[in-house]
Structure 1
């Protein structure tokens, strides 16, 4: 657990007018507003949420 890979995720497009499931994925990643960045652990669950709303995000490996 000490050597977990992380991904930096930044919300670059607005969530306004998006579907409820897409908004839930963004909130599940911990993003609150535009240009807000968080680091999440690289797990299959987080990858799935990132892939679902990839058109709203900018990602980079840390």
Structure 2
């Protein structure tokens, strides 16, 4: 993966009644409210975070 690639993600689900680790993962991705979006680097660590909360986020654009 190239170092300049980013992924744009948007939060579509609420962290209410979710495990604390999932809430912390959302905060680590720069999200904490439904409808917010963030651009994160395309790294294996970020991909793992997205996998953990895939039911709460949507990948809008991957460049």
Which ranges of 4 or more aligned residues in structure 1 deviate by more than 3 Å? none
Specify every segment of 5 or more residues in structure 1 that has no aligned partner in the other structure, as ranges. none
For residue 62 of structure 2, what is the aligned residue in structure 1?
A: 61
**Structure with a larger share of its residues in helix:** 1
Report the counterpart of residue 18 of structure 2 in structure 1: 18
List runs of 5+ in structure 2 lacking aligned partners.
Answer: none
With the length of structure 2 as denominator, give the TM-score of the two structures: 0.88
**How large is the RMSD of aligned CA atoms in angstroms?**
1.1
Give the TM-score normalised by structure 1: 0.90
Partner of 1:38: 38
- Hey, what's the Cα distance between the residues in 2 that align with 1:29 and 1:53? 10
